[in-house]
Homo-oligomer: A and B are copies of this chain.
């Protein structure tokens, strides 16, 4: 089947994937440190901005991930723990109804206090208390801590995603990281990989960490299908734009058409036409559109319309997972040891099935057969969002390496564009 994939060695040599050799303590320290490293290039002022309802201020991410450990680990399991501040539970609970009242999400950007410095002190205070807890762990706690760390890694991706948005809506177009690694190769020829029909199993059943929504592993019947060997590029998407794709209703779902009319979308988010040339905003600032990079920051509606315009379709999540189950992990992920998040779209190896950009599927985000969320507040982590969202697969250049696996299910509403989301075609 997928025999054409490159055999180059993975470009990341150190990872934060928890292994037998690596204690949970080290993992904890690494993850917590990376969140702060990501924020290093920020000015104090950048920490507080909520540039749109989807975005949370970087300060909020730093505090919320800390609140997760304080609430689910320290308060619940460390006798005598004093909470850092009595109001932080109210301020930094994201959506856990079982925990209690919360500060309204759209008002996260209105809070100058706590200051950035106080948030860092909060982090240090919780890390210090966690050190006690980490020395004497039950398996249940281990698993909760692991969840907390994977949770924080998801917020690391959100940090970079949100920072990009915060900078992009600023007329001064600030730069997050001036020199970004580039890979000047052009994309390989698109190939069509074919997969026979049959019964397949998808879903997680390994000992390593996975979120509850990846389980249970179960059988699905697939008809034979084709998958493109590489992602759709900016150049290919530009053709769609220039051929009038955004003004021809026949390519669009009804909701998608209504959305692009209401939002006056004419191109992917962050694309801008200046004096006839196309530019895009990246974490490295404004750059001219590179036709060879994978297209990014498109909504499901746009991915779906592009596919229909191209005479193809998006894959289902089962088709995607079956196709990638055997593919080695490689790609331009957010590195862990030495941090260098990629540009908006890093120039990338366009033949890989993982990384670079999240890939929209045509699957709605629904529970797997016999899915059971965990008991208690942690059960709200994934399950209650299983309505109105579409599944994305594969991971992006700002995804933590340890999150990239074939069973991982990312999900967003179909109009979402601020994520690093792109397109792989199917047929």
Residues in A lying within 8 Å of B, measured CB to CB: 43-51, 87, 90-91, 95, 97-98, 103, 107, 109-116, 166, 169-172, 174, 199, 218-221, 223, 249-250, 252-257, 300-301, 304, 362-364, 366-367, 369-370, 380, 384-388, 390, 414
Contact = CB atoms under 8 A, between A and B. Distances in A.
A133 to B, nearest CB: 27
Per assembly, the copies of the chain total: 4
A113 B414 contact: no
A364 B300 CA distance: 15
A5 B44 CA distance: 50
A116 B111 CA distance: 17
Contacts of A109: 49, 109-110
B97 A257 contact: yes
Interface centre among A46, A111, A252, A385, by most chain B C-beta atoms within 10 angstroms, is A111
A249 B257 CA distance: 33
B49 A112 contact: yes
A-B pairs with lowest CB-CB distance, top 8? A364-B364, A97-B249, A45-B112, A46-B112, A221-B221, A254-B384, A44-B44, A253-B387
B221 A113 contact: no
A256 B97 CA distance: 13
Contacts of A304: 387
A112 B115 CA distance: 14
A172 B266 CA distance: 34
Contacts of A97: 249-250, 257
Given A45-B115, A113-B172, A172-B113, A387 B414 contact: yes
A58 to B, nearest CB: 10
Given A95-B254, A98-B250, A385-B254, A87 B45 contact: no
Given A254-B95, A362-B367, A366-B364, A170 B112 contact: yes
B114 A172 contact: yes
A311 to B, nearest CB: 11
B218 A219 contact: no
Contact of A221 (B199, B256, B385): B199
A312 to B, nearest CB: 13
A113 B43 contact: yes
Contact of A253 (B46, B250, B301, B386): B386
Contacts of A44: 44-45, 115-116
Given A43-B115, A110-B49, A171-B91, A388 B366 contact: no
A112 B166 contact: yes
Contacts of A114: 172
Contact of A388 (B46, B169, B255, B386): B255
A227 to B, nearest CB: 14
Contacts of A388: 255, 388, 414
Interface centre among A45, A91, A116, A221, by most chain B C-beta atoms within 10 angstroms, is A45
Given A45-B48, A221-B220, A387 B112 contact: no
Contacts of A380: 254
Nearest to A46: B112
A390 to B, nearest CB: 8
A275 to B, nearest CB: 16
B174 A255 contact: no
12 contacts: A43-B115, A45-B112, A46-B112, A46-B113, A49-B109, A51-B110, A109-B109, A110-B170, A112-B174, A254-B387, A300-B387, A364-B366
Nearest to A49: B112
B112 A253 contact: no
Interface centre among A98, A112, A113, by most chain B C-beta atoms within 10 angstroms, is A112
Contacts of A110: 49-51, 109, 166, 169-170
